[in-house]
Amino acid sequence: MEQSTRNARARAVDTHCPYCALQCGMTLTRDAAGTVAASPRGGGLCQKGWTAPELLGHPERITTPLVGGEPAGWDEALDLIADRIRSAQAQFGPGAVAVFGGGGLTNEKAYLLGKFARVALRTPNIDYNGRFCMSSAAAAGIRAFGVDRGMPFPAADLAGADTVLLAGANPAETMPPFMRHLAGRRLIVVDPRATATARQAELHLAAAPGTDLALANGLLHIAVERGLLDQAYIVGRTTGFAEVARTVAAYWPARVERITGVAAADLYRAVDMLATGPRAILTARGAEQHGKGVDTVNAWINLALALGLPGRPSSGFGTLTGQGNGQGGREHGQKADQLPGYRRIDDPAAREHVAGVWGVDPDSLPGAGPSAVELLGMLGDEVKVLLVFGSNPAVSAPRSLSVHKRLSVLDALVVCDFLPSETARLADVVLPVTQWAEEEGTMTDLEGKVIRRRALLAPPGQARSDLHVLSGLAGRLGVTEGFDPVPRKVFEELRRASRGGTADYHGVTYERLDAGEAVHWPCPDTEHAGTPRLFTDGRFATPDGRARFVPVEHRAPDEPRDGEYPLHLTTGRVLTQYQSGTQTRRTSLPGEPFVQIHPDTAARHGIAEGATVRVTSRRGDFTAPARLDDGMRTDTIFAPFHWPGANNAVNDALDPISRMPEFKVCAVRIHPQEETP
């Protein structure tokens, strides 16, 4: 950085970190020697962001198309893919080709990918890894508020809150700069583990995995008992409270204590902390990645509504989106049941509008497709060809070993990536794509703010944007119009396609963003300032303008622990790694897989610190070194999911509404792994 300021030939751009949904502002500079450095722009940056430039010139960078593992030209690779698509579709119909997207793709890529599937492939079979991430919170938000914007207010508003409850969220580890917004707030953290975030909390509620719903219902029960409800708000802005009141009447403290393991006295403490002042309740994957994830989030929303929080200053309910474009990526049509603008694909009006923008017959658009886990389950059967963009399901999907096998029996697996992920290694064709510092586009951060990603560098070798891949394939499949691979042009079309939708981007332009404006959706026209705060007028995005209370009941995890598999396994992230680790495992950041175990549990199994542990579930197993931690519950072990392994074991039981797999709790047994000499 010092060198760059001294060197007249240096270049710099203002962009954002390539990793999580916080999308920290980042200045990228390049010195005379071509070395790229990152530095924070205004806010914070954690070590993932600081080290991101290491991947730009990484020796494993894919810079040329690979066919059967051998370098090939673009035309050769795209011709081959188009051939495979045509022959699979000719033999088995349009659905024989499927698309798997990612929550890290720019809005432009996510949009064009959804259009490509519906218009060029005409397949209903498209979903994305956000299904593993935000689908439960999204469904719950839509049920309660009629809209899903992760945080319906700017994160900076949290600075004005007295108390913040984090349910299954560990931002100190997963998005450290977010903690700046929580500095000085009284924190209540709900997590089975004593995480880095829980250790900063005034009150840590170490609920057993899979019991957050009962906990939330129990807190609402106490809030009723304590007379803390905002009756005017409930009467004036919501519907359905009476049934929720009857439901939570059955969650008296002693019962909730028994289900969750959280002392009744601590339940009362939590409610006392939430009694007055600006208060916010935030969930993340710990609450959401369950077979009852949607209901769990609704339980927390019920509490927030009963206390009268959503729409009030520095108050409300939000969910912490995970992936870089986890918000924008779930709005523009790479989701199985969705069209751009957060429209539903089964809504005739939505189909007509979007088909109009696309210049196609509404009846030609396929209907809703299967969710991610179900789609992966079709590979090799109904689905013969799979195109993967910005995702690594061989590591990130539940029951990952069987996903691995299914990926291997396809007629063609095509993977667009810039590094040889585990999925790319299985591919028949790998297409080299750009990474963040080499491309233009927009992302939408965790608070619904549309931001610009800007290029510092030209792509290396033959690498091209995913937009070029879609354009090249669409043309080969006979769709020559409407797939111009220019980000700004794609965004212009996205604006029109999203117009009038829930996530309305019509008023967002590159010009406004480049002029430094912060624009949150919905933004219906270019004169509109955007909507940083939703619900402030007391109205919600439901047909009658009222928020919905949803009565929800606790039920046990899909796979309770038992004599054979006596421990719960839960999974999550660590500070130095990101998602399936394709990127961060290749940086200088420290990190190796581990299994976190309470010392008593380890001792009973003859496991010492650092010893290799084999973790076995009914679906599969993995090994990793033991890390002993007395902040663990004795009935629960933890493994990060950044390495191949942990997801072999996790449960692929699905939430009936969001189709979210139950990543966060399954039954396992552990053994010391015999060392082979």
Partner 1 sequence: MKVVIAGYGMAGARLARELGLRGAEVTVFGAEHEPAYNRVLLPGILAGTHAEADLSLPAPPAHVDLRLGEAVTSLDTHAREVNGVGYDAFVLATGAEAALPPVPGLDPLPRNVTVFRSMADCRAILAAAEGRRRALVLGGGLLGLEAARGLAGRGMDVTVVHAAGHLMERQLDTVAGDLLAGTLAALGVSVLTNVAVSGVEGDADGVRLGLGDGRVLEGDLLVVSCGVKPRTALAESAGITVGRGVVIDDQCRTGDPAVYAIGDCAEYLGQNFGLVAPAWEQADVVARVLTGTPASYQGVRPVTRLKAGGIDLAAMGSLDGEEVVSYVDAARGTYVRLVIEADRLAGAVLLGDNPTTGQVTQLFDHGDPVPRDRRTLLLGRAFGEPPRPATPAAQPDDAVVCRCNTVHKGALVRAYAKGSRTPNELSKATMAATGCGGCAGDVAAICGWLRETAPAGELTEVNA
| Binding test (CB under 8 A) with partner 1, winner from 56, 117, 140, 172 | 172
- Does position 255 interact with partner 1 (CB under 8 A)? The reply is yes
Which 541-600 residues touch partner 1, going by CB under 8 A? 551, 575-576, 590, 599-600
Let me know: does 289 contact 274? Beta carbons within 8 Å. Answer: no
E strand map for 228-273: 238-239
CA distance 455 to 621: 42
| Binding test (CB under 8 A) with partner 1, winner from 11, 425, 604, 618 | 604
| Binding test (CB under 8 A) with partner 1, winner from 235, 249, 368, 529 | 249
Quick one: 197 or 571, whose CB is closer to partner 1? 197
Quick one: 257 or 439, whose CB is closer to partner 1? 257
Shortest Cβ distance from residue 589 to partner 1 (Å)? Answer: 8
Part of the chain binding partner 1 (CB under 8 A), chosen from 83-91, 196-204, 467-475, 479-487: 196-204
Quick one: 324 or 551, whose CB is closer to partner 1? 551
- Does position 58 interact with partner 1 (CB under 8 A)? The reply is no
CA distance 432 to 68: 14
- Does position 311 interact with partner 1 (CB under 8 A)? The reply is no
Q: What is the 3-state secondary structure (H, E, C) of 521-567?
A: CCCCCCCCCCCCCCCCCCCCCCCCCCEECCCCCCCCCCCCCCCCCCE
Quick one: 183 or 458, whose CB is closer to partner 1? 183
Quick one: 529 or 603, whose CB is closer to partner 1? 603
Part of the chain binding partner 1 (CB under 8 A), chosen from 259-267, 284-292, 535-543, 614-622: 259-267
Shortest Cβ distance from residue 31 to partner 1 (Å)? Answer: 17
Quick one: 172 or 446, whose CB is closer to partner 1? 172
Question: With 0-12 CB in 10 A as exposed, 13-18 as middle and 19+ as buried, what is 162?
Answer: middle
- Does position 156 interact with partner 1 (CB under 8 A)? The reply is no
CA distances to 152, 394, 410, 415, 558 from 404, in Å:
37, 5, 11, 14, 24
Instruction: Give the count of alpha carbons within 13 A of 3, CB side only.
Output: 11
Residue with tokens 């916080």: 22
Total number of residues that touch partner 1 (CB under 8 A): 50
The three-point CA angle 438-180-107 to 5° equals: 30
In the chain, what is the greatest distance between 2 CA atoms, to the nearest angstrom? 71
CA distance 157 to 154: 6
In sequence order, the β-bridge partners of residue 70 are: 67
CA-based end-to-end distance of the chain: 48
* 505 CA to centre of own chain: 21
CA-nearest of 654, 668, 446, 671 to 571 is 668
Shortest Cβ distance from residue 648 to partner 1 (Å)? Answer: 25
- Does position 458 interact with partner 1 (CB under 8 A)? The reply is no
Part of the chain binding partner 1 (CB under 8 A), chosen from 7-15, 348-356, 426-434, 628-636: 628-636
Which 472-491 residues touch partner 1, going by CB under 8 A? none
Let me know: does 520 contact 148? Beta carbons within 8 Å. Answer: no
- Does position 257 interact with partner 1 (CB under 8 A)? The reply is yes
| Binding test (CB under 8 A) with partner 1, winner from 200, 536, 542, 673 | 200
| Binding test (CB under 8 A) with partner 1, winner from 40, 94, 240, 625 | 40
* Binding stretches for partner 1 (CB under 8 A): 40, 44-47, 50, 171-172, 176-180, 183, 196, 199-200, 208, 224-225, 243, 245-247, 249-250, 252-255, 257-258, 260-266, 551, 575-576, 590, 599-600, 603-604, 630, 634-635
